[in-house]
Amino acid sequence: MPSTKSFTYQAVPGFFRHDNEPTGPQFRATTQPSLGLIDRSYETDSAFDPEGKKTQWERFVHFLEQQNRAGRGGVLYKLVFVIRHGEGHHNVKEAEVGRHAWDAHWSLLDGDGRVTWSDAKLTEKGKQQAQVLNAFLRESVASVKMPTPQTYYTSPLARCLETTRIAYSGLDLPADRPFVPIVKEGLRERYGEHTCDRRSTRSWIASSYPQYVIEPSLTEDDELWKPDRRETAAEVVDRVKHLLDDIFTHDDKHIISFTAHSGLIRGLYEAVQHNDVWVSAGALVPVLVRAERVGA
């Protein structure tokens, strides 16, 4: 495999309403109709759509493709469909006992004798949230010609693997965009201490999701999670930058999907200098990322 290049990253505003949503924990972004794509013109419209018959999404995708051609590999653009997994059993327990008790005690256990939340799985509500997202995707593809991702990436944690499967199940996909998710360790939640963020084995992932491609570097057992040290927020941001370098170097597709976690999404937003918008469980939000290659 070719060596990984380094880039600087910047979220590009002016295309999606999500970019200007409120920041901080008092607000949670939800999936907007048409993903909040702003009704506007592009400089590529006159040649691509002289009669004004194309949809907003068709014109945006053409504009995005043209931007990448103009960048000639030195400047790259990717539209990222960012999905936060649906509600997990750990989310329910934390809501029940409160943040302080969760962090100090319950998060360190595998469960409470009734429910297990180590590598937390989706609740029934979490599955329903993913099904709602699936219905949204089906309707949007049909009505406004919103594109489906060309590459699907997912965290290796169980709640993301299942959210990805449900959300993208049964879509009418082009032949060159098959649903073959790629499992990336770099997309996982902050690891350490909290058992909900300790992943299952590579063998379990492979047997439970045989249609997924697992990156070669993902080890059989979780060698990153430690019971006595939690990854810092700054370390998550650094991890995200390495993940983006990997993807922007080796994936030439311009529309991709990340299924991840609240902490990871906040790390992604810091890495690309996006506003710190918190995302609801089971929501899909768009982020347009500009990457500029560092050095030759």
- 72 vs 36: which has the higher pLDDT: 36
Q: How far apart are CA 276 and CA 21, in angstroms?
A: 9
Fold entry, domain 7-293 = Rossmann fold (3.40.50)
Q: How far apart are CA 92 and CA 94, in angstroms?
A: 6
Of 17, 22, 19, 18, which is closest to residue 40 (Cα–Cα)? 17
Place of tokens 């006595």: 228
Q: Is 189 noted as a catalytic residue in this protein?
A: yes
β-pairing, 255-260 vs 277-279, is unpaired
Tell whether the model's pLDDT for residue 223 goes beyond 70: yes
- Would the pTM of this model clear 0.85, i.e. be above it? yes
Residue of 18, 85, 90, 194 marked active site:
85
The CA–CA distances, whole Å, from 279 to 57, 77, 200 equal 23, 22, 25
Tell whether the model's pLDDT for residue 155 goes beyond 80: yes
Q: How far apart are CA 160 and CA 209, in angstroms?
A: 12
Q: What is the mean pLDDT of residues 41-55?
A: 97
Q: How far apart are CA 112 and CA 94, in angstroms?
A: 12
Summarize pLDDT for 98-145 with one digit per residue, the tens: 999 999 999 999 999 999 999 999 999 999 999 999 999 999 999 999
The CA–CA distances, whole Å, from 142 to 59, 135, 215 equal 16, 11, 32
Residue of 87, 189, 193, 231 marked active site:
189
Place of tokens 């690891």: 191
Please report which confidence band the pLDDT of residue 296 belongs to, taking 50, 70 and 90 as the band edges. low
Q: How far apart are CA 192 and CA 236, in angstroms?
A: 12
Of 131, 130, 133, which is closest to residue 31 (Cα–Cα)? 133
Q: What is the mean pLDDT of residues 67-93?
A: 97
Q: Over the Cα atoms of the chain, what is R_g?
A: 19
Q: Is 242 noted as a catalytic residue in this protein?
A: no
The CA–CA distances, whole Å, from 173 to 114, 135, 282 equal 40, 15, 22
